[in-house]
Structures are given as C-alpha cells and as structure tokens.
Structure 1
C-alpha cells in the first residue's frame, strides 16, 4: 500500500464556496499533498496559490477528514490510501496565475465561486453520467453533502 496525506480548503464568501471546476462539469476543493517538512497550513496556502492563483488565504480550524483506499495506479502497489484533512479557510485574494500540474491542466481546473448545492448537483450529475468520473468525486461529493446538511 502507498499512503498519502493531503489538505483541502473550505473557503466561503457569503453563500458561495471557492472550488475548482473540471472540464467534465464536476467540482473539487482546492488542495493537495503535503511535501516533506511542510505543515498542513503551509501546504494548503501553497495549494491555493498553485491551483487558484489566490494569496493571503488564512487556514483555520480542521473541519474533518476523509479516508480513501482504492486500487493503485502504480503497478508497484496494490492499494492507494489517502487521508484528506479539510480546513475552514478565510481571506484570500486573486494574486496571480494558476500553476497547474499536467493532469490538472488537462482537466482544465478553473477556480470558481458556487453554492454548495450547485456543486453537489453538478457532482451527482457527473457521477450519474459516468463520464469523466475522477477518483476524487466520491470524496468531494461526500464533503459537499456534509456541508449541505450543516446548512452551508
């Protein structure tokens, strides 16, 4: 098994949430893996800059975690395990261009402000179509459902 620890940001402005849309019509939370020696807050700040082009994001309290274990894409491992830590964030200003990794650019990840219910409906529609379903879709949909149940 290969293990990965990731951080994800939950940044609201009024009723809208900053998410990344993909060319398939689904949404994911900004965030990603922690680099060696990096704190959770530093990793999330870096990810907001890279994926969204946002600076001055303040990382607040941890809202919860998700755990995934799925078949590994690398033949050297049978299972890929990932724990994602979701943090409430505030602040943030557009400060530059996105610096997307190859797969992120291919998916045309674009930062946008949407309500939880809009993102949830879009993710469910992509799941139902079965086209462009990314590994993160189940995880991100579950977190959106949790936020919706909380009234956010």
Structure 2
C-alpha cells in the first residue's frame, strides 16, 4: 500500500528520536465511502471536525476485517464492498495511555462502496460523549471546515484533524476531481 504521508504531532516532535521511550504501536483502518457527490464522514462535536469512519484494528485482526467492523460500529455500514486500497499514513502522536510516552500509528485507507442503506450504528461510550455523528457531506465543505478549525487553532482541536484533512484533500483530487484538493 502506498505511503500518503508521515506526520509528527507538534507537541511531541522533540521526543521522536529518543530511543528510551515507551512507544505504543497501533494500527487503524479507515473507509472512503463516496456516493454521487457526497462522502461518508464522522462529525465530532467536541473537536468540531470531520473525519473518516474507522478506528483501531484489534490484535490479530486483518486491516480489512477491522475496517468492516469499524464501519458497522461507527457508521452503520454493514454491506460494503472494498474497491481498492487507497494508501496509508504513519504518524507519531501523543498517547492517551499513561504507561506509554507516545504512539506510532499506521492508518490504512480503503476505497469502499456501500451496497445497502446505512443502519443503526453502535458507537462506543466515549464516541457518544464526544458527540460523534455520521453524515453524508460535500467533500469540499468538509475540507474547508477542517481547514478553518486548523487556522483558528481552537483549543478543542483534535489531534487527528491534520491527518484527516490531508487525506480528504488527496481523496478530493484523486477520486472526486474537486477544487479543494490543493
């Protein structure tokens, strides 16, 4: 799978070269689901941002199996067809688990087709608490929205917004041919 980007979160850039740190390795799978001129995204009220549906891959789980599970849980997408892999992003991020100094995450994106209507989703407790909702969105609007949050550097800005916006721009350019891709 092609490498789309390698990112290092601003708050931990100085730590990445330190070999003595405890680094949590995590993998995630994310879906690119396009229907006509809209893309399926998750909006999170707490962070005021749009992101791709998907999430962590469980131990021993293949990326596509994790993707199917996450799309069903987050978006209620139970009948999906994997059209192709799109790419991966590697990144160093702050870690929410106190026993780890930082996290190295590899996220895999897959272009998918929805073969039936969305059903009820089953969000995790923290996702509900953060106000996460599934939406069909114009991709250019989602990119502009996320970019405005980044520019404002809002205190509530989430750590994933740069990654998500960068991949949204690549999807806009390569799969949708829209104006906001640059």
For the criterion TM > 0.5, the same-fold answer is yes
TM-score normalised per structure 1: 0.91
Give 5+ residue unaligned stretches, structure 1: none
Give the number of equivalent residue pairs: 152
2:80 is equivalent to residue 57 of structure 1: yes
Alignment partner, residue 21 of structure 1: 43
Q: How does 1:58-137 map to 2 (within 5 A)?
A: 58-129=81-152, 130-137=154-161
* Structure ranking higher in strand proportion: 1
Give the CA deviation at 1:74: 2.2
SS in 2 for 1:112: strand
Once the two structures are superposed, residues 108-142 of structure 1 have per-residue CA deviations (whole angstroms, 9 ceiling, x without a partner) of: 11111112211101111222231421111111011
2:65 is equivalent to residue 42 of structure 1: yes
- Give the one of 12, 16, 27 matched to 1:5: 27
Which whole-Å CA distance do the structure 2 matches of 1:116 and 1:27 have between them? 10
Please identify the structure whose Cα radius of gyration is greater.
2
Give the CA deviation at 1:93: 2.9
TM-score normalised per structure 2: 0.77
Once the two structures are superposed, residues 2-56 of structure 1 have per-residue CA deviations (whole angstroms, 9 ceiling, x without a partner) of: 0101100000001110000111431010111111232222111111110011210
Which whole-Å CA distance do the structure 2 matches of 1:123 and 1:62 have between them? 24
SS in 2 for 1:135: coil
Which whole-Å CA distance do the structure 1 matches of 2:48 and 2:116 have between them? 24
CA RMSD between the two structures: 1.6
Give 5+ residue unaligned stretches, structure 2: 1-22
Give the CA deviation at 1:146: 1.3
Once the two structures are superposed, residues 38-94 of structure 1 have per-residue CA deviations (whole angstroms, 9 ceiling, x without a partner) of: 222211111111001121011231111111102222232211110000000002433
